[in-house]
Amino acid sequence: MGAEPTKLLQGTTGDWEVVVGLEVHAQVSSKSKLFSGASAEYGAGPNENVSLVDAAMPGMLPVINKYCVEQAIRTGLGLNAKINTWSRFDRKNYFYPDLPQGYQISQYKDPIVGEGEVEVEVEPGETITVGIERLHLEQDAGKSIHDLAPKESYVDLNRSGVALMEIVSKPHMRTAEEGAAYFTKLRSIVRYLGTCDGNMEEGSMRADVNVSVCRAGSYEKFKETGDFSHLGTRTETKNVNSIRYVKQVIDYEARRQIEVLEGGGEIDQETRLFDVKSGTTRTMRSKEDAHDYRYFPDPDLLPLEFDQAWVDEIKAGLPELPDAKKHRFINEYGLSAYDASVLAADKASAAYFEEVAKCGDGKLASNWVTGELFGALNKADKDIETSPVSAAQLGELISLIKDGTISGKIAKDVFALMFEGEETGSPADIVEKRGLKQVTDTGAIEKIVDEIIAANPEQAEKVKEKPKTMGWFVGQVMKASQGKANPQAVNEILKKKLGVE
Amino acid sequence: MTNPADLTLAQLRDALKAKDVSSLEATDAYLTRIEKAKALNAYVTVTADKARDMAKASDAKLAKGEGGPIEGVPLGIKDLFCTEDVLTTAGSHILDGFKPRYESTVTSQLWRDGGVMLGKLNMDEFAMGSSNETSFYGNVVNPWRREDGGNTDLTPGGSSGGSSASVAARLCAAATATDTGGSIRQPASLTNTVGVKPTYGRVSRWGVVAFASSLDQAGPIAQDVRDAAIMLKSMAGHDPKDSTSVDRPVPDYEAVLGQSLKGLKIGVPKEYRVDGMPDEIEKLWAQGIEWMKDAGCEIVDISLPMTKYALPVYYIVAPAEASSNLARYDGVKYGLRAKEYTDITSMYEETRAEGFGDEVKRRILIGTYVLSAGYYDAYYLRAQKVRKRIFDEFTDAFSKVDLILTPSAPSAAFGLGEKTNDPVQMYLNDVFTVTANLAGLPGASVPAGYDRQGLPLGLQLLAKPFDEETMFKGLFALEQAAGANKRPNEWWA
């Protein structure tokens, strides 16, 4: 756990604490919508994926999509949360052209998923636990388009009725980094589960960011008592659709709120919008203009009930999740918590790593994947699924280092050849073909060592006084052998010949 | 031969099967009558061409000895049911020009079984009313008149006033209707027809314009109990498109008619004796009790003390749901859009101000109010708790009795305009019927007699959930005993 004092923000009148909670909307990866059979695919032409129900034609009725319910349960289990076998849908009433029914079907009082928690790695050595308040299912609205004509607005109902999971955290994040790390972690979990594709550009995942500030020490009182009056008034910044923006919103809002409070002002409980260009937030709707949504149970739908056996069945079919994977990587391969979490965060990376680790050295595999491979991929703007070097190749390459066929240095060269596409196929063949095999024949190395010592008598004398300067000889021998000499053998022979203890 | 439009549905069905009459002949006979009955204003839309086409198709099937249970029978459809490519108004201005591209489950089942659509029947706007005076398309006039020599136009009841009037005046063989607080049973009682509201979940709500989703249930208004049984069999059944529809087999209701009632226990709730109820209704109720005794039933005095809360609960729950259900009529997608507006908010305001009538606005206001922050617990939540107690009370009562016998309505048909200025007086019309909606029970009204002025009066039977069969047995016995099968004079023709 990070030390509390690092989480304080200094103002002109004293120290402040920042408190952050996120409401994340994750679109369920489902072929059809939550209450209608219309397609939920992204990218169709305007109003092509609209059923009579989505358009709120008179007399149309919603019917729950079982697949979406299953995805919500899967996600709930992935958040280590309580699954409510009895839940209910409510209507949230408000008028807007892209809301054809005049209400959104959501879950207000009785959500399908209750409290849970997730582990979040903020940075190497710092892991926090963020509480989940709830997860509920709801319909997405359509889209209003105002810039197609000067006096008219258009409505596209393709998204109308698409299933969303709203995942509400507890106010357990204390910095912009924690907020961003939590958002990242949620994305990782839903992608692992396959319940949401996590595609933020397409709007599959977006966050409403709640931020408040309070005087140093108040948060601790809140934590002890659960009494929200210890916290400051919060603002909610809507529809933030990238991890970087979440960070910016929290930083900006915290600073802005402290400034307002220190200037003698008050924070309004309001809804705000994030302006990507300026990196600032501005008022969207003040409290006075807040809707009275007139929630009430949707009489067109029966309560959502299922038995525990179904939940257990779903649970049994869950894949290994990032946290479990991380802990297994630590235990099984001896990785550091940070390396393990970096590898476990993404399903494809984790699978790649495990394939490489079949070489028998998990730590070395981890170093190669997070170091050489990630670096190269980053530089080439490629992702792990399209890596030019396969996990099998990398594993074999590491095996060649381990059995002394090549040195680490040569391995990097071979890796680069494979990554650039200059060589394909088995690394062992590449090494063979290019004559890169390490020289372990001590006779051959001794010969080179003798020659170099003979050519540099002064240097050889110096080593006897300053043993550290032997490194120069190592370099010379490696150079003369074109990097192929076994470094360990070179070291031993040099020591012997130069008389270094 | 007799006019085929004078036959009951069952008689016509049999005559059609026997080829004594063709569907086209029957259809034309009805269309002629409808043409002459404009004064009743029972139809909003007459689909003459469609009716003749459907009749011809039925005749073709009948000629081959094929066809469904009601093949070739001309029916009237309450304008709350969406009918494909046929104007569907719900009695409201706001649905101007709305022609659905889909057919409600109920009507599609009627067509599946051979029904012929004559047209769409007038009704209170969005089914909100008890006198058919809130329709944008004008009042429906009851075919029945007082025997006082006057020509006072009376209400056919509501909201299914077009259905009750058209069946009473033989402007269709039978009609569909819907009942949210009594809208099938009260109009039936006022027009000497049989009205059946089935158990909630028995009939699909898909494609029926919603008023109050947890209370709405479709059923028939028919000339007699047999006709109602035949209609309900075609209308009922599970529909996966309606989540509140219940998956259980539909019995043959007609088959139980005439079965003995011996040993059945009939509950008589003392709380249904209300202040100001005409003594004729009181007497009729007592008579009904005697008829049931004569049929071999045991009479059991029961108490339903929550009854007095039923109307207040109803007038919270129904408007609350309606305020949300009617939000979709916003001028954006279909129906009316106001011509003059400045922005989206004013478009909503102008459209809804123009498109909804006073009663609908009143209920939207009530519903919006009772769901508002700070009032929800005091009104909506409390009403739901009382509703649950009403249900429990009925469950308890039905552990002791098989049917409950009550009057259908607190008065005979009243004059149009008599109660329009006093909504609460109007709401009291539903005092005997609304409990069945709140508890989801089946209930039905059967003609039982006439008041001093010769106006029809009905008796109501309530039954256990999904026990429509026992209810039909009881209705048939009452019908036989009462013999109240007079027809109104055709003063309008």
Residue-level pLDDT at A457: 84
| pLDDT greater than 80 at residue A225 | yes
Of the two residues B436 and A484, the one the predictor is more confident about is B436
Averaged pLDDT for residues B334-361: 96
Name which residue leads in pLDDT, B429 or B143. Answer: B143
**Binding-face residues of B in 366-385 toward A, CB within 8 A:** 368, 371-373, 376, 380
pTM: 0.90
Please check whether residue A304 lies inside any domain of the structure: no
Asked whether the beta carbons of residue B332 and residue A64 sit closer than 8 angstroms, the reply is no
Q: Do B328 and A58 touch (CB under 8 A)?
A: yes
pLDDT beyond 50 at A390: yes
- Among residues A273, A292, A311, the one where a domain terminates is A292
Same domain, A73 and A101: yes
Same domain, A107 and A207: yes
Name the closest residue on chain A to residue B81, using Cα atoms: A59
Taking 70 as the threshold, does the pLDDT of residue B382 lie above it? yes
Write out the residue range of the structural domain in which residue A342 sits.
Answer: 322-433
Do A269 and A286 form a contact (C-beta atoms < 8 A)?
no
Q: What is the mean pLDDT of chain B?
A: 97
Looking at chain A, which residue has its C-alpha nearest residue B381?
A: A296
Are A469 and A402 part of one and the same domain?
A: no
Contact predicate B188/B214, CB 8 Å: no
Where residue A50 falls among pLDDT bands split at 50, 70, 90?
A: very high
State how far the Cα of A183 lies from the Cα of A118, in Å rounded to an integer: 11
Q: Encode pLDDT of A230-247 as tens digits.
A: 999 999 999 999 999 999
Q: Answer yes or no: is A476 within a domain.
A: yes
pLDDT band at B420; cut points 50, 70, 90 = confident
Q: Find the range with the poorest average confidence among A35-39, A121-125, A173-177, B68-72.
A: A121-125
- Chain B residues whose CB is inside 8 A of the A91 CB are 324
The pLDDT tens digits of the residues spanning A60-98 come to 999 999 999 999 999 999 999 999 999 999 999 999 999
**Residues A311-329: what's their mean pLDDT?**
95
**Whether residue A408 sits in one domain with residue A457:** no
User: Which of the four pLDDT bands, split at 50, 70 and 90, describes residue B1?
Assistant: low
**Same structural domain, A187 and A206:** yes
Distance from CA of B88 to the nearest CA of A (A): 10
Chain A residues whose C-beta is within 8 A of a chain B C-beta are: 52, 55-64, 91, 93, 95, 97, 100-103, 153, 155, 292, 294-296, 299-302
**In total, how many domains does chain A have?**
3
- Note whether residue A429 is domain-resident: yes
Sole residue written with tokens 């959104």:
A104
In this complex, do B206 and A60 lie within 8 Å of one another by their Cβ atoms?
Answer: yes
Catalytic residue numbers of B?
Answer: 78, 159, 183
Proportion of chain A above pLDDT 70, given as a percent: 99
Would you call B3 an interface residue with chain A, using a CB distance cutoff of 8 Å?
no
Q: Which two tokens stand for residue A206?
A: 């977006």
Q: Name the percent of chain B lying above pLDDT 90.
A: 95
The predicted-structure confidence for B111-141, as pLDDT tens digits, reads as follows 999 999 999 999 999 999 999 999 999 999 9
Residue at A96 is within a domain = yes
Q: Looking at this predicted complex, what is its ipTM?
A: 0.96
DSSP tag of B379: I
Q: Are residues A90 and A152 in the same domain?
A: yes
**Chains A, B: CB contacts under 8 A, how many?**
98
B100 near A CB under 8 A = yes
pLDDT at B74 over 60: yes
Rg (CA), chain A: 30
Residue A59 is nearest to which of B207, B244, B330, comparing CB atoms? B207
The mean-pLDDT minimum among A268-282, B229-243, B465-479 falls in: A268-282
Summarize the confidence of residues A26-53 as an average pLDDT: 95
A400, A416, A433 - which closes a domain: A433
**Which secondary-structure segment (H or E) carries B300?**
strand B298-302
Please provide residue B182's backbone torsions phi and psi, each rounded to the nearest 5 degrees.
145, 10
Q: Enumerate the β-bridge partners of residue A238.
A: A273
CA distance A95 to chain B (A): 7
Interface test with A, best of B211, B243, B345, B369 (most A CBs within 10 A): B243
Q: Which residue has the higher pLDDT, A492 or B65?
A: B65
Q: Which residues in A lie closer than 8 A to residue B176 (C-beta atoms)?
A: none
What's residue A6's pLDDT? 56
Comparing B247 with A490, the larger pLDDT belongs to B247
What pLDDT does A1 receive? 38
If one compares B434 and A127, the residue with the highest pLDDT of the two is B434
**Residue B386 has which token pair?**
């009382």
pLDDT value at A501 more than 80: no
The encoded tokens of residue A361 equal: 């050295």
Distances (CA, A) of B325 to A127, B88, B315: 48, 17, 15
CA-CA distance, A301 to A137, in Å (whole number)?
Answer: 14
Note the pLDDT of residue A2: 39
Q: Do A299 and B88 touch (CB under 8 A)?
A: no
Name the DSSP class of A290.
Answer: -
pLDDT in tens, A184-197: 999 999 999 999 99
A-chain residue closest to B209, CA distance: A59
The one-letter amino acid code at B375 reads Y
CA distance A105 to A141: 10
A130 and A153 share one domain: yes
Shortest CA distance from A97: residue in chain B:
B332
Say whether both A253 and A203 belong to one domain.
Answer: yes
Looking up tokens 């706007």 gives: B125
Question: A108 with A39, same domain?
Answer: yes
Residue A231 Cα distances to A17, A129, A228, angstroms: 9, 19, 5
| 3-state SS class at B336 | coil
Is A307 part of any domain?
no
Angle made by CA atoms B111, B113, B118, in degrees to the nearest 5: 40
Give the length of chain A.
501
DSSP B259-291: ---TT-EEEEEGGG--TT--HHHHHHHHHHHHH
Residue A315 lies in a domain: no
Nearest to A439 by CA among A471, A411, A475, A405: A405
My answer on whether A182 and A265 are in the same domain is yes
The CATH-assigned architecture of domain B1-493 is: Alpha-Beta Complex (3.90)
CB atoms within 10 A of CB B258: 11
Distance CA A397, CA A358 (A): 12
The answer to whether residues A58 and A30 belong to one domain is yes
Residue A139 Cα, gap to closest chain B Cα (Å): 16
- B342–chain A Cβ distance below 8 A for any pair: no
Is a pLDDT exceeding 70 seen at residue A44? yes
Residues of A with CB below 8 A from B104's CB?
Answer: 59
CA distances from A295 to B90, B324, B377 (A): 26, 10, 11
Helix axes A176-193, A243-262, angle to 10 degrees: 150
Number of separate helices (H) and strands (E) present in chain B: 15, 11
- Looking at the domain assignment, is residue A302 inside a domain? no
Average pLDDT, chain A: 92
Query: Region A325-340: what's the mean pLDDT?
Result: 93
DSSP B458-470: EEEEEE-TT-HHH
- Are A282 and A213 in a shared domain? yes
Give me the CATH number covering residue A486: 1.10.10.410
Q: Which of A433, A460, A475 is at the close of a domain?
A: A433
Q: CA angle A163-A168-A174, nearest 5°? A: 145
Q: Which residues of B touch A61 (CB under 8 A)?
A: 205-206, 241-243
Cβ atoms within 10 A of the Cβ of A319, count? 12
Domain ranges of chain B: 1-493
Q: Using 50, 70 and 90 to split pLDDT, how confident is the model at A5? A: very low
Q: Say if residue B159 is preceded by a cis peptide, omega within 30 of 0.
A: yes
DSSP of B140-157: PPPS---TTS----B---
User: Tokens representing A212?
Assistant: 């408040």
